[in-house]
Structure 1
Amino acid sequence: MTRLLVHGAVLLTVDPSRPDPFVGWFTVGDDGRISALEPGEPPEGLVAEQVLDASGTIIGPGFVSSHSHLFTSGCRGLGMDQSLYGWIEAMTAPLAGAVDEDIYWMTRHGAQDFLRNGITTAFDFTSAGLSFEKESDGVARYAASLPDAVFQHAQLRGKVDAGLRSVHSVMLGQGAVDHAAALAHLDDVVSLATDVDRSLLLGVALSGTVQWAESPDAATLEVAAMRRHGLLNQPHFLETPHEISLQQAKFAWYREAGALGPDLVFGHFIQTTDEILVEAAAAGCGMSWQPMSNGRLASGVASIPRIRELGMRVGIGLDDQSCTDVSDPFANMRTALSLVRATYHDPAALPVRDVLELHTRGSAEVLGIDREVGSLRVGRFADFLVVDPRRPDTGPVWDAYGTYVLACSLRNLRQVWSGGRLVAEGVALCDPQADEVESQLHERLGRLQGVRA
């Protein structure tokens, strides 16, 4: 049965197999996936349960954030003038003492904030509940301990209940933890996830910890975990501009552990050398780029033109909602353009069409989920945005990509659809519990601080 027919809009399919933009139509089946998509008018006699006339708008795929920390949604505006490790201390302080149900509501708040802003899929680094210890701006660590699988699973429940698709990423133990115990913890994480709606849970992954580790054992453990369950691993790596030589030396840990390959995606990957880039690209590694976060925390500008020249897969993420502060994918794209073009003194260093592809299909490709999301193609989930360049008016649309990326913003985002179902209209979420989520976040963070919310 055809659940939904959409017609009349200019479509930005981000499909490399067909030229766009074009005015067209598409249908969505009962499984929430696109069942047909073509230019022009829909055929006469086509019947659907619901029809959306999107004339005058531009429709693009839902944004995919290849690097996110949803549980931080209630900690925005902290660590205002700090670099990475000082900011982490400031941002995590209000969360001390959080229990399973606290972190559930925090994550659900972050997930519904993403949906409202047009981000329909996210790679989510869950909180492990471990305290962060800063030694200097370039040296820090998490407390040596094993995470709690139930605490991490509460965050998966929050994402699913909000209706956000995700790759659910978990941290293993820190410090000198027993490898057998760490792998048993991972078994528990995977087991808990088996009953979750697989249309929303697109995979379980690892949050690599070599950036904070004190021995190569961390890389060895990550490889064992990856192979045990066939998991993608995205470590934060070469991010902070402090102690760069120390960070770069740890790249050899991944090499020697046998980690380099398509299932290793480096998060940030800023403080690189050309030798590191060449080796990582040759091994098939990917990277996730967080432009707004990297600017806010003064981390630097990743060598995106060189990384792409070497053929490395690149996705774009929103990172913590507490270091992008406004989870705005339109602003994230424009920040990406500005950083790269200003650094290289060349507008061709990052074309407008490319930056939209990186934040949609590119992010899906680097996470290995591009057969599910990231573009408007038959067989993909019908996750799409209805953007109206006339409300408020941005002037004539000379080029649909140019208007969409450069002139439109959250104020032009009319609707967000996921799986062919409306999830947000303007700033209003369709989830009847949306207000309750916000109340729970404020009450729980207030209680944790010993203050009435």
Structure 2
Amino acid sequence: MTADTITAADIRINARWVIPIEPANAVLEHQAVLVQGERIAAVVSRDEADARYRAKETIDLPNHVVLPGLINMHGHAAMSLFRGLADDLPLMTWLKDHIWPAEGAFVSEPFIADGTQLAMAEMLRTGTTTFADMYFFPEIVAQLAKDAGMRAQVCFPLLDFPTPWGAGPDEYLAKGEDFIRQWQDDPFIMPAIGPHAPYTVSDEPLTKAVALSRSTGTPIQIHLHETASEVADALEKTGKRPTARMAELGVLGPTTQCVHMTQIDDSDIQLLKDTGAQVIHCPESNLKLASGLSPVKKFREAGINVAIGTDGAASNNDLDLFGELNTASMLAKVVADDATALSAHEALAMATIDGAKALGRAHELGSLQAGKLADIIAVDLGDPFLQPVYDPASHLVYSNHGRQVSHSWINGVPQVQEGRLTRIDVPDLMLRVRGWADRIREQQTS
């Protein structure tokens, strides 16, 4: 062996199992993942790694499965401060009588900062490396994610009425255009347009949002077909299903992310297929608010990309994507009356490569392949309640909890080591969270 046959690497991760996601359904044993700088250099056998690579740091994970970092494609990060505030209520009661009044009382720049950091801590600790956020003060969310070294698609809000972030659609769009311009070329932050829903945004601002999306190449994320009442009200008021109205306005397209999509008929599926729109499935939030059931198998059979999100912690009530995968797979089987409707490997793909496709970044995220960005997680399957291990993919979806995530890297930089966050001061954050909880609790009881 000569020096010119050896390739340098920054990190070598020796794993009991590797699930690369691409190729599909693969489980590799006794592999090494090599990281050089911000990218994956190789995924090879340990023998080949011994022969070809020399790493500055070697991490041995003898009971672990290594896979791409998870992508949480929908949430409202700062709403983590409202976790458990108003449970066991239907969506519109939950929103109108509890969440919107609480937002009016508390949402501010400090609230967004602390709530977002709380959400990022939970997501990082449970395996998420990229998240999509749709909430107020997107500039605060973007800067926090950037500072923490976490990837985020950050949607600026668009509604017909005033909120703490703006007086109405024209102000939202003007501020949003500035926000897009500021972050458009950032490797961590992906700006996006977030019209709340068809029932809260009228035709004119939606048309302007479409024009802005097309001129800047910016994605649109919108709550769509979340409840039966949403569809019934739209038919009564406009004579059109919400998907039909969105298609006519140009909202649906390959860069559009349609969140929830529970009340679906064949015409909706055809519109999504024809326009190339993406579906973001939020199974636990849909169940908790009794919003409905998303026909995941039908979407997938039609060739529609389906990614997955947690929604906010106020309606879930956690941001653990592994739990979401368990629910998604179980629910898909019941809805389709087919135990094969969504396999463990397919569920893992929804939280990795399918999320990357929804972001338009499948060329650099979502699987462990040489040249892709080094967003990597390791899950410890060594605990007794996870034994024996016949199929690590099955364990990740059906037996695992996100707290089994032991290591995480984003861009090759450690975010979680031995179960501990490396870039968020948790004790200091908890002091601020307790302060918010005291204020919110006092307001709720007064």
Q: Shorter-chain TM-score category?
A: 0.7 to 0.9
Q: Which runs of 5+ in 2 are unaligned?
A: 1-7, 235-239
Q: Report if aligned partners of 2:134, 2:155 keep a CA contact under 8 Å in 1.
A: yes
The residue aligned with 1:139 is none
2:383 aligned with 1:391, yes or no?
yes
8 A Cα contact 2:119 2:319, kept in partner? no
Deviates more, 1:270-279 or 1:78-87: 78-87
Change (3 A) 1:75 1:46: same
Which piece of structure 1 moves more, 365-374 or 419-428? 419-428
- Which residue pairs with 2:160 in the alignment? 174
Counterpart-to-counterpart distance in 2, 1:291 and 1:426: 30
1:336 aligns with 2:328: yes
Paired letter, 1:9:
R
Equivalent residue number for residue 103 of structure 1: 112
Residues 1:35 and 2:27 aligned together: no
1:16 aligned to 2:23? yes
- Aligned match of 1:234: 221
For 1:306-325, what aligned pairs fall within 5 Å after superposition?
306-325=298-317
Pairing partner for 1:219 from 206, 216, 219 = 206
Residue of structure 1 aligned with 2:175, choices 166, 177, 185: 185
Cα separation, partners in 2 of 1:182 and 1:388, compared to 1, 3 Å: closer
Change (3 A) 1:449 1:9: same
Q: More deviation in 2-11 or 183-192?
A: 183-192
Q: CA deviation at 1:2?
A: 2.0
Task: Deviation per CA, 1:347-399: give whole Å up to 9, x if none.
Answer: 11111211111111111111212223211111222222221222244222212
Q: Which amino acid aligns with 1:157?
A: Q
Contact 2:24–2:345 (8 Å) recurs in 1:
no
CA distance in 2, matches of 1:393, 1:97: 41
Assess if the C-alpha contact under 8 Å between 1:166 and 1:200 holds in 2. yes
Q: Is the 1:210–1:218 contact (alpha carbons within 8 Å) kept by the matching residues of 2?
A: no
The letter of the residue matching 2:124 is: L
SS of equivalent residue, structure 1 residue 38? strand
**Per-residue Cα deviation, 1:61-119 (whole angstroms, up to 9, x for no partner):** 11101111111111111221112222234235444243223311211111121101111
The count of aligned residue pairs is 424
1:258 equivalent to 2:245? Answer no
Structure with greater helix percent: 2
Deviates more, 1:64-73 or 1:210-219: 210-219
Q: Are residues 243 and 156 of structure 1, via their aligned partners in 2, closer, same or farther at CA, if it must alter by over 3 Å?
A: closer
Deviations 1:110-132 (A, max 9, x none): 112110111110111122xxxxx
Bigger shift: residues 408-417 or 161-170: 408-417
Query: Matched residue of 1:234: which SS?
Result: strand
Structure 1 counterpart of 2:151, from 152, 165, 175: 165
Cα–Cα, structure 1 residues 341 and 179, in superposed 2: closer, same or farther, change >3 Å? Answer: closer
**Aligned ranges 1:60-209 → 2 under 5 Å:** 60-89=67-96, 90-95=98-103, 96-127=105-136, 151-175=137-161, 181-193=171-183, 198-201=186-189, 203-209=190-196
The verdict on how the C-alpha distance between 1:450 and 1:354 changes in structure 2, with shifts beyond 3 A counting, is same
Q: CA deviation at 1:228?
A: 2.9
2:26 aligned with 1:5: no
CA contact (8 A) 2:308 2:351 kept: yes
Taking structure 1 as the reference length, the TM-score comes to: 0.87
- Cα–Cα, structure 1 residues 280 and 315, in superposed 2: closer, same or farther, change >3 Å? same
User: Which whole-Å CA distance do the structure 2 matches of 1:67 and 1:237 have between them?
Assistant: 13
For residues 214 and 53 of structure 1, do their structure 2 counterparts lie closer, same or farther at Cα, with a shift above 3 Å needed?
A: closer
Distance 1:412 1:113, change over 3 A: closer
1:211 to partner: Cα distance? 2.3
What residue number does 1:133 align with? none
Secondary structure in 2 matching 1:68: coil
| AA aligned opposite 1:242 | S
TM-score scaled by length of structure 2 = 0.88
Mapped to 2, the partners of 1:274 and 1:59 lie a distance apart of 39
Partners of 1:322 and 1:414 in 2: CA distance: 26
State the alpha-carbon separation in 1 of the partners of residues 181 and 202 from structure 2: 29
Q: Which residue among 280, 296, 309 is the counterpart of 2:288?
A: 296
Change beyond 3 A, Cα 1:17–1:318: closer
Partner in structure 2 of residue 137 of structure 1: none
Question: How much does 1:434 deviate?
Answer: 2.5
Q: CA deviation at 1:445?
A: 4.7
- Per-residue CA deviations over 1:241-290 (Å, capped at 9, x if unaligned) read 32422346332322222233201121111112111111211221111001
- Residue in structure 2 matched with residue 132 of structure 1 by the alignment: none
Does the alignment pair 1:345 with 2:337? yes
